Amino acid sequence: MSWINLRELAKKRSLFTSGHRLCAGCAAGIIGRLVMHSVPDPKHVVVVHATGCWEVAGTIFPYTAWAVPWIHNAFENAAATASGVELAFKALKDKGVVKKVPDIIVFGGDGGTVDIGLQSLSGAIERGHNFLYVLYDNNAYMNTGIQRSGATPRYAWTTTSQVGKVIPGKLEARKPIANIIAAHGNAYVATASPAYWRDLMEKARKGIEYKGPAFIHAISPCCRGWRFPPNMTIRVAKLAVETCAFPLWEYDPETREYKLSPPSLAIAKNPKLKKPIEEYLKLQGRFAHLFKPEKREDLIARIQEDVDKEWNQLLELCGIT
Amino acid sequence: MMLALNGDEAVAYAVKQSNVDVIAAFPITPQTIIVEKLSEYVANGELKAYYACAESEHSAISMIVGASAAGARTFTATSANGLALMHEILYIVSSLRLPVVMAIVNRALSGPINIHTDHGDSMAERDACWIQIYCEDAQEAYDTVIQAFRIGENHKVLLPVMVMLDGFLISHTTQNVDVLEDEKVSNFVKHRIPAEIEVFGKKVPLTLNPENEVPLTFGPLDLWDYYFEHKRQQEDAMEKSREVIRKVHDEYAKISGRSYGNGFIETYNMDSAEYAFICLSSTAGTVKSLIDKLISKGDDKLGLVRIRTFRPFPYEELPKALEGVKGVAVLDRSGAFGAMGGPVYNEVRSALYDSDVHPFINGYIYGLGGRDMTMEMLKSIYDDLVETVKSGKPKRKIEFVGVRE
């Protein structure tokens, strides 16, 4: 019997409360609430936040939407900050100042994780601190107004990878951040989508309970930046999984094994379920230039090729051939 | 107890005795010995703290932010480029009012790359709202690190403290350092007691501890409607730190028998002085030797005012110390490109402007990248100063000492 019971969950107080100023339809808030609902003991948790839209939307002095101790330091150092929090509580526990070391959860966007914060994150993972780092990946620097990041997918429009007569959006593929973190070898790693909320919560709980660094890469569709109506967030988050643009998997540092999660495993078992990438792209205005004024079959095919290659590589990692 | 320690070892020894909880650092010459010694102390159980090897100075100070906000007593150390890499976070440390202690082993900033001493690194951080204390030798570095915890953690202050010592000249030269007994230091610094704030009518320790009655948010967005007040509070804390720096210095003098002037400035032969040198750190030792030599030859007209506490700046103490002096030579060990002289020169002139003390003030920039400052060079500065005063015309131009033009 799972610890996740909707009826019980509905009664639980949210640790990321209402009153925040996230956009309607923002996936980050959904991911955050799911993760915070996965905390085993709401009285023993500290949240660390990298600079980003969620960080600024969750606080503005003298207000806060956080019902747990929370710290924001800077953009690129959330993992280092969390490392320090962990060491401090270990020291304070040794000296009897606190009863136990709290669970530490870090939230960072793709800019703060994949780009500017990668070194700090890698260092913290290597040092083996005990925290769960949740990357909410909205594929661009959304806080500053939709600029290209290392997590922006190929051919996506952003305000710094503009679509013009010569260049059709971002020319490069995204950085495989979850694989990079998994390559450290000592961290529990998982990908997650708010469309599969139970899967996300189970992974969050696993990450929190893992004695060592844990990393969840959650896709976080952004209606402002991806250009879709706010009521489509979960639909987009689901299509990302169904098209294998964002497959769901886990990496177990104990066995050093990759494992597909149920929604993606179903596709692996029955490849006919794998939807064409076009279905994911056509919902999003950031890919509109692939469909009009004329349909760019060549570019869509290139994206499909990226998806297929990454998917096949993942199947191989998971021992499915 | 007398130990033969170099400056870095003296700093590490003081940290070992100061009940520190978390140390995070990244190695950089000439700070390295400090972190090596601390690693050794933790490894052999002499220091019961958590020591983290950061993957950069930026992460070292970022870890310190997390640890200090959680309620721990924290220490880190760096030099030059490492300090520059920390720059962004230094302002966050002081704005979060975290009483972090950091030793800066002064080294010239790149470029060109250089490992030897000058004060360009810490001078670049003089507006970061850290208390800055410059030490003359290893003994003072030891004494000041111990004092720094008490100063920064005082609830009227709650500011980070930088303790400076000159790279190689002090960090790597061994001297006799009189260290106090462990118990004496422990009783002096005790353990960190976080300040309390009132939230919803409840007194809550200002930490991330989930066991607090009300959970606190650290580092929220803070715009035009509150940011200015928070900066004003930092300025207020800096002003309030003056009294605390003095008290801690005096209290420490009672347990150690050692004092450094009034904690802000230290004077040497100023009673009979008509001319004065103003400088920071180890150069003061050479100036004192020159003064002794001059006295032995019958000239007792040169004195020294060593600035120990640069932030908060001793603008009230300086005019008093310089009363009756005809000429002042301000020695800056850092460049000031495009400015009217180095930072010490500018601060000193500013401090005297509204006072009744108006000697001739010459500015001299020296010793960049570890260039030696010899007795001969100091003597030539003295001669130059006397000449300026006798000419009756202010120089209004910065001299560069010991450089090939």
CB-CB neighbors (< 8 A) of A22 in chain B: none
B291 SS3 class:
helix
Main-chain phi, psi angles of B230, to 5 degrees: -65, -35
Strand order in the sheet with B399-401: B265-268, B302-307, B275-279, B327-332, B360-366, B399-401
Instruction: Give the minimum alpha-carbon distance from A187 to chain B in angstroms, rounded to a whole number.
Output: 17
For residues B341 and B362, give the distance between their C-alpha atoms in angstroms, rounded to a whole number: 9
DSSP state of A163: B
B3 SS3 class:
strand
Cβ(A158)–Cβ(A286) below 8 Å: yes
What are the tokens at A293? 């004024």
For residues B31 and B9, give the distance between their C-alpha atoms in angstroms, rounded to a whole number: 10
The residue among B315, B308, B311 whose CA lies nearest residue B144 is B308
The residue among A158, A188, A182 whose CA lies nearest residue A171 is A158
DSSP state of A113: I
Residue B135: predicted pLDDT: 98
Determine the average pLDDT of the residues in B47-68: 98
Q: Is B55 on the interface with A (CB under 8 A)?
A: yes
For residues A68 and B361, give the distance between their C-alpha atoms in angstroms, rounded to a whole number: 56
For residues B86 and B212, give the distance between their C-alpha atoms in angstroms, rounded to a whole number: 30
Which region, left, alpha or beta, applies to residue A52 given φ > 0 means left and ψ of -120 to 50 means alpha?
Answer: left
CB-CB neighbors (< 8 A) of B58 in chain A: 76-77, 80, 120
DSSP state of B264: S
Residues 194 through 233 of chain A touching chain B, CB cutoff 8 Å: none
Determine the average pLDDT of the residues in B258-277: 98
**Closest chain A residue to B64 measured between Cα atoms?**
A84
Mean pLDDT score of chain B: 97
CB-CB neighbors (< 8 A) of A126 in chain B: 55
Instruction: Tell me the percentage of chain B whose pLDDT exceeds 90.
Output: 99
Q: Is A101 on the interface with B (CB under 8 A)?
A: no
Residues 344 through 383 of chain B touching chain A, CB cutoff 8 Å: none
* pLDDT single digits (tens) B110-122: 999 999 999 999 9
Torsion of CA A225, A230, A234, A237, to 10 degrees: -10
Cross-chain residue pair A80–B70, CB shorter than 8 Å: no
Cross-chain residue pair A60–B221, CB shorter than 8 Å: yes
For residues B278 and A269, give the distance between their C-alpha atoms in angstroms, rounded to a whole number: 79
Strand pairing class (B131-134; B309-311):
antiparallel
Instruction: Give the minimum alpha-carbon distance from B397 to chain A in angstroms, rounded to a whole number.
Output: 41
Residue A1 pLDDT exceeds 60: no
Q: Which of B22, B23, B59 to mutate to test the interface with A (most CBs of A within 10 A)?
A: B59
Residue ranges, CATH 3.40.50.920, chain B? 265-401
Cross-chain residue pair B72–A91, CB shorter than 8 Å: yes
A242 SS3 class:
helix
Cβ(B313)–Cβ(B97) below 8 Å: no
Instruction: Tell me the percentage of chain A whose pLDDT exceeds 90.
Output: 95
Q: Is A71 on the interface with B (CB under 8 A)?
A: yes
- Residue B253, number of CB atoms within 10 A of its CB: 15
Q: Is B206 on the interface with A (CB under 8 A)?
A: no
**Going from the N-terminus, what domains does chain A have, and what CATH number goes with each?**
6-317 (3.40.50.970)
Instruction: Give the minimum alpha-carbon distance from A266 to chain B in angstroms, rounded to a whole number.
Output: 41
For residues B6 and B165, give the distance between their C-alpha atoms in angstroms, rounded to a whole number: 11
From B56, B70, B219, residue closest to A73, measured CB to CB: B219
For residues A227 and A229, give the distance between their C-alpha atoms in angstroms, rounded to a whole number: 7
* pLDDT single digits (tens) A242-274: 999 999 999 999 999 999 999 999 999 999 999
Total length of chain B: 405
Residue B370: predicted pLDDT: 98
Cross-chain residue pair B208–A69, CB shorter than 8 Å: yes
Residue A2: predicted pLDDT: 80
Residues 12 through 51 of chain A touching chain B, CB cutoff 8 Å: 43-46, 48
**CATH class belonging to B2-189:** alpha beta
For residues B180 and B178, give the distance between their C-alpha atoms in angstroms, rounded to a whole number: 7
For residues B232 and B238, give the distance between their C-alpha atoms in angstroms, rounded to a whole number: 10
Residue A261: predicted pLDDT: 98
* pLDDT single digits (tens) A55-114: 999 999 999 999 999 999 999 999 999 999 999 999 999 999 999 999 999 999 999 999
From B66, B74, B215, residue closest to A68, measured CB to CB: B215
Contacts of A1 (CB under 8 A, 6+ apart): none
The yes or no reply on domain B265-401 and CATH 3.90.870.30 is no
Determine the average pLDDT of the residues in B79-105: 98
- Tell me how far apart the 2 most distant CA atoms of chain A are, in Å: 68
Band (B395; pLDDT cuts 50, 70, 90): confident
Cross-chain residue pair A99–B211, CB shorter than 8 Å: yes
Cβ(A141)–Cβ(A149) below 8 Å: yes
Residues 110 through 169 of chain A touching chain B, CB cutoff 8 Å: 119-120, 122-124, 126-127
For residues B303 and B359, give the distance between their C-alpha atoms in angstroms, rounded to a whole number: 14
Cβ(B244)–Cβ(B151) below 8 Å: yes
Please tell me whether the peptide bond between A263 and the residue prior to it is cis, using omega within 30 degrees of 0.
no
Residue ranges, CATH 3.40.50.970, chain B? 2-189
Residue B18 pLDDT exceeds 60: yes
Cross-chain residue pair A59–B221, CB shorter than 8 Å: yes
Q: Is A284 on the interface with B (CB under 8 A)?
A: no
For residues B343 and B12, give the distance between their C-alpha atoms in angstroms, rounded to a whole number: 29
Mean pLDDT score of chain A: 97
How many A-B residue pairs are in contact by the CB < 8 A criterion? Answer: 166
Task: Write the DSSP assignment of B377-394 as a string of letters.
Answer: HHHHHHHHHHHHHHHT--
Strand pairing class (A249-252; A188-192):
antiparallel
Cross-chain residue pair B21–A66, CB shorter than 8 Å: no
Cross-chain residue pair B70–A126, CB shorter than 8 Å: no
For residues A18 and B343, give the distance between their C-alpha atoms in angstroms, rounded to a whole number: 49
From A59, A73, A122, residue closest to B217, measured CB to CB: A59
Does the ipTM exceed 0.85?
yes
Strand order in the sheet with B74-78: B50-53, B22-25, B74-78, B101-106, B161-166, B131-134, B309-311
